[in-house]
């Protein structure tokens, strides 16, 4: 503090700021004292002759960082499970029954979301849980929807499939050579026609002579269908949307 006389004879007091200097008792630390001669300036001197920096530097505890990592992993796992169980799931084609549309070792993305409000339609390719006597190690089957609930499905001697008395055009059927004539469809010896109950689907593979399907184990309940295959994504050379064919000449199913 510095005093000097004012105009009225009263002493005027100046409070000088502190200087920061090293403490002799604690090497490397800084203490404050008033400058001499009332010099109104701040002088800083601290460790290693560098300037003094106010404020504290805090380090996040390792336990907190670990908690954040675990929290992120759990959240990621939850999101993955929600997507896989309710939105979409990849599947590997393991059977030959959908040749040449889908070949073994290819991967498809199965839509689980839209079938909840958009029913399966004729021509859709679906992944489903087969009947207990037909499943191998719980491996799902992949087939095409041919008959819907209320349809009359018939396989005649001409090798064509009839829905409600009308033949359907099936350009996706397997052929011995690409672009060649499609393979004919044959029925089992004991049965050649089916009436599909409401809530069930008649499913067949595109490679009819190499497919275990509804011709042998009957229609499949919609509740056993996992989802609709809509994208072939691997190998990348086969990447493409699995379009659903149209059957404009067919009459509607009678409930």
Find all residues with CB under 8 Å of 94, minimum gap 6, and list them: 104, 139
Tokens of 101: 């549309």
Question: Can you give the residue ranges of every domain in the chain?
Answer: 8-49, 92-241
Q: Find residue 30's DSSP bridge partners.
A: 22
- What is the share, in percent, of the chain residues with pLDDT greater than 70? 73
pLDDT tens-digit map of 10-52 = 545 444 444 444 444 444 444 444 444 444 444 344 444 555 4
* pLDDT, mean of residues 101-127: 94
CA gap 101, 108 in Å, rounded: 11
**Could you give phi then psi for residue 98, rounded to 5 degrees?**
-110, 15
143 among known catalytic residues: yes
Tokens of 94: 């393991």
The conformation of residue 198, written as its DSSP 8-state character, comes to T
The H or E element that residue 67 is part of is: helix 62-86
- Whether the pTM exceeds 0.75: the reply is no
In order, the DSSP letters of 151-214 are -EEEE-TTS-EEETTEE---TTS--SSTTSPPPPP---TT--EEEPPTTEEEEE-SSGGG--SH
CA gap 82, 246 in Å, rounded: 32
Q: Find residue 229's DSSP bridge partners.
A: 110
pLDDT tens-digit map of 41-92 = 443 444 445 554 544 445 557 777 887 888 888 888 888 777 777 788 999 9
Of residues 112, 143, 211, 214, which has the active-site annotation? 143
**Could you give phi then psi for residue 141, rounded to 5 degrees?**
-100, 155
Of residues 97, 112, 211, 214, which has the active-site annotation? 97
112 among known catalytic residues: no
Give me the CATH topology for the region 92-241.
Umud Fragment, subunit A (2.10.109)
pLDDT band, very low/low/confident/very high, at 249 (cuts 50, 70, 90): confident
């Amino acid at each position: 503090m510095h005093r000097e006389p004012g105009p009225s004879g009263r002493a005027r007091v100046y409070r000088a700021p502190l200087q920061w200097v090293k403490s002799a008792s604690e090497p490397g630390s800084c203490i404050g004292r008033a400058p001499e001669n009332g010099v109104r300036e701040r002088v800083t001197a601290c460790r290693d002759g560098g300037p003094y920096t106010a404020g504290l530097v805090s380090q996040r505890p390792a336990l907190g960082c670990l908690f954040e990592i675990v929290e992120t992993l759990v959240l990621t796992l939850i999101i993955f499970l929600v997507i896989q169980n309710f939105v979409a799931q990849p599947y590997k084609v393991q059977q030959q029954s959908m040749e040449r549309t889908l070949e073994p070792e290819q991967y498809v993305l199965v839509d689980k979301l839209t079938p909840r409000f958009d029913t399966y339609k004729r021509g859709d390719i679906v992944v489903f849980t087969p009947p207990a006597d037909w499943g191998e190690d719980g491996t799902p089957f992949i087939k095409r929807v041919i008959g819907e609930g209320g349809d009359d499905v018939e396989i005649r001697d001409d090798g064509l499939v009839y829905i409600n008395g009308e033949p359907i055009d099936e350009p996706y059927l397997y052929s011995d050579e690409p672009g060649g004539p499609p393979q004919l469809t044959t029925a089992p010896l004991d049965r050649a026609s089916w009436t599909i109950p409401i809530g069930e689907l008649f499913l067949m593979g595109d490679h009819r002579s190499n497919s275990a399907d509804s011709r042998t184990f009957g229609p499949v309940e919609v509740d056993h269908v996992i989802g609709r295959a809509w994208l072939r994504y691997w190998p990348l050379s086969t990447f493409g949307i699995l379009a659903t064919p149209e059957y404009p000449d067919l009459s509607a199913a009678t409930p």
